[in-house]
């Protein structure tokens, strides 16, 4: 099995197991078990670290069901092949060549010589960040909100896992709207989301060479610069447009408006928590958030979207063409021509998926285009933000979102490669010809 196929099959198997567990009567509050579509939707959203919900997480699922969701989030955030390799290292203390190749493929590693160190690094980063966020949130819930020790620990652990893995699930019916003006809740969660959205390769390099930026790879530099620019642009855009909206930022004091604007900008990096009523925002805000969600975060991490590296590559290709230069140069390095084709392929497949999903949702529902487009982009970008229409969608529309979440988490290129059964090397080249462009 091709490594890309193994990743796809692994995620599909995890979703199937999660669906079966959530359909058990012990997972759902009240008599009987959850229906198949809601269980499938929730399991897919958790494994694909999206955060879209078709039912109220607090009122619909029991504590057992919520634990299943948290474990699925952690599993999906780490990666199925990486988790399987970790189990092999713990139990057998060795890895097969196939396991190394699959884990390296999922982690977007350039080689598989030191996959053991890669897996240990990913697990160490995940556990460390989640423990730090857990400690801060636990103390805040305990001292600031009067939670009992166990209750504070449960809420803190769930949010720590959900935030670092960019999932967006919360144990409150209004998500995090009750904490919109609390920096001790919003900022740790936002920090975990940003770190998770950078991608494991970037975090691991920063951990080793933080004070030697000249040694940073092109990938690290692109991800860091794009993250800063998009976070600031998103904060400014959302804050300015929603500043006087009485249903969102208008009800807050100036400092809280800036905090809430920044927090919602962070969520467009594929996290999906909402401290504001997304459904009450202006349609122009939704459109800007659509763009940010479509771009997403860094590769080989917990973020979705087409990835900031893909967006940056296309931007520099455009810039090079406008300047009339031959090679695409980024941060003093020449970009490989094969990356040009990969970036264009990813974007075209992503655009086709979002447009196709939006058309399907328009045909299956009566909701307006701006709301439907927002849900489709949020699902494909594995963001989890919603204008409020997802719970009332018909089952067929929910299946469309399930497919978009699955495609968005795996990535168009990975899924496309998995569909191709074998590579076909071409032993000849055809004559060149140039069509008219533009």
pLDDT tens per residue, range 31-59: 888 999 999 999 999 999 999 999 999 99
Q: Please report the sign of the dihedral spanned by the C-alpha atoms of residue 70, residue 76, residue 81, residue 85.
A: negative
- pLDDT of 274: 93
Count the Cβ atoms, other than its own, within 10 Å of residue 400.
Answer: 23
Higher pLDDT, 182 or 85: 182
On the question of pLDDT at 195 being above 70, the answer is yes
Average pLDDT over every residue of 180-206: 93
* Gyration radius of the chain over CA positions: 21
Q: Is 252 part of any domain?
A: yes
DSSP assignments along 274-309, one per residue: -SS-GGGS-HHHHHHHHHHHHH-S-SSSS--SS-HH
pLDDT band at 208 (very low <50, low <70, confident <90, very high): confident
For residue 340, with 0-12 CB atoms within 10 Å meaning exposed, 13-18 middle and 19 or more buried, which class applies? Answer: middle
Does 92 score more than 60 pLDDT? no
Strands (E), 57-145: none
The reply to whether 389 falls in a domain is yes
Is 364 exposed, middle or buried (CB count within 10 Å of its CB: 0-12, 13-18, 19+)? middle
Assigned domain for 435 exists: no
Looking from the CA of 301 toward its CB, the CA atoms found within 13 Å total 37
- Domains identified in the chain, total number: 1
pLDDT at 263: 97
pLDDT value at position 111?
58
CA-CA distance, 314 to 295, in Å (whole number)? 12
CB count, 10 Å around CB of 253? 9
Is 434 among the domain residues?
no
pLDDT of residue 432: 84
The answer to whether residue 430 is domain-embedded is no
Closest CA to 300 of 207, 208, 223, 245: 223
Does residue 394 lie within any of the structural domains?
Answer: yes
Domain assignment present for 319 = yes
**CB-based contacts of 60, cutoff 8 Å, min separation 6:** 28, 29, 34, 38
**Sign for the pseudo-dihedral over CA of 209, 213, 214, 220:** positive
How high is the pLDDT of residue 252?
A: 95
Beta bridge partners of 334: 329
Residues 427-438 have pLDDT tens digits of: 888 898 888 877
**pLDDT of 109 over the 80 cut:** no
**Gap between the Cα atoms of 296 and 38, Å rounded:** 26
Average of per-residue pLDDT across 304-333? 91
CB atoms within 10 A of CB 153: 16
Question: Percentage of the chain surpassing pLDDT 70?
Answer: 89
Q: Report pLDDT for 89.
A: 61
SS3 category, 329: strand
At residue 107, the pLDDT reads 63
Is residue 281's pLDDT more than 80?
Answer: yes
* pTM of structure: 0.91
**The pLDDT of residue 104:** 66
Show the domain range for 292: 3-419
Kindly report, residue by residue over 216-269, the tens digit of the pLDDT: 999 999 999 999 999 999 999 999 999 999 999 999 999 999 999 999 999 998
pLDDT of residue 194: 94
The answer to whether position 92 is within a domain reads yes
Mean residue pLDDT across the chain? 89
Is residue 401 within 8 A of residue 373, CB to CB? The reply is no
pLDDT of residue 421 exceeding 60, the answer is no
In percent, the amount of the chain with pLDDT more than 90 equals 65
């Amino acid at each position: 099995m091709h490594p890309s196929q193994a990743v796809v099959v692994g995620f599909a198997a995890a979703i199937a197991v999660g669906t079966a567990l959530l359909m058990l009567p012990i997972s759902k509050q009240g008599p009987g078990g959850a229906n198949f579509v809601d269980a499938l939707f929730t399991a897919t959203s958790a494994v694909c670290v999206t955060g879209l919900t078709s039912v109220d997480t607090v009122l619909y699922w029991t504590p057992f069901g919520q634990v299943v969701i948290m474990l699925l989030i952690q599993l999906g955030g780490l990666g199925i092949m990486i988790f399987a390799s970790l189990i092999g290292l713990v139990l057998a203390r060795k890895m097969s060549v196939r396991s190394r190749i699959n884990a390296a493929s999922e982690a977007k590693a350039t080689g598989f010589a030191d996959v053991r160190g890669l897996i240990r690094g990913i697990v160490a980063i995940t556990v460390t960040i989640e423990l730090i966020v857990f400690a801060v949130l636990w103390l805040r819930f305990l001292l600031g909100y009067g939670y009992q020790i166990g209750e504070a620990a449960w809420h803190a652990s769930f949010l720590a896992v959900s935030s670092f893995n960019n999932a967006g699930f919360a144990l409150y019916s209004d998500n995090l709207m009750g904490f919109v003006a609390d920096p001790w809740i919003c900022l740790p969660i936002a920090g975990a989301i940003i770190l998770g959205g950078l991608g494991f390769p970037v975090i691991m390099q920063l951990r080793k060479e933080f004070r030697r930026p000249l040694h940073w790879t092109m990938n690290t530099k692109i991800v860091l610069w794009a993250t800063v620019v998009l976070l600031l642009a998103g904060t400014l855009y959302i804050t300015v447009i929603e500043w006087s909206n009485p249903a969102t930022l208008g009800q807050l004091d100036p400092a809280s408006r800036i905090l809430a604007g920044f927090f919602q900008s962070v969520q467009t990096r594929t996290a999906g928590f909402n401290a504001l009523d997304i459904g009450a925002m202006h349609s122009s805000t939704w459109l800007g958030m659509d763009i940010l969600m479509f771009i997403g975060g860094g590769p080989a991490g917990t973020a979705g979207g087409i990835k900031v590296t893909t967006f940056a590559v296309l931007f520099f290709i455009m810039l090079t063409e406008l300047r009339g230069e031959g090679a695409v140069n980024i941060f003093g390095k020449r970009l490989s021509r094969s990356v040009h084709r990969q970036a264009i392929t990813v974007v075209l497949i992503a655009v086709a998926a979002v447009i196709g999903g939006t058309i399907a949702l328009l045909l299956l529902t009566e909701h307006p285009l701006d709301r439907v487009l927002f849900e489709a982009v949020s699902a494909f970008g594995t963001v989890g933000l919603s204008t409020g229409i997802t719970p009332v969608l018909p089952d067929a529309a929910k299946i469309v979102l399930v497919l978009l979440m699955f495609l968005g988490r795996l990535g168009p290129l990975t899924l496309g490669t998995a569909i191709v059964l074998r590579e076909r090397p071409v032993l000849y080249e055809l004559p060149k010809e140039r069509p008219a462009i533009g």
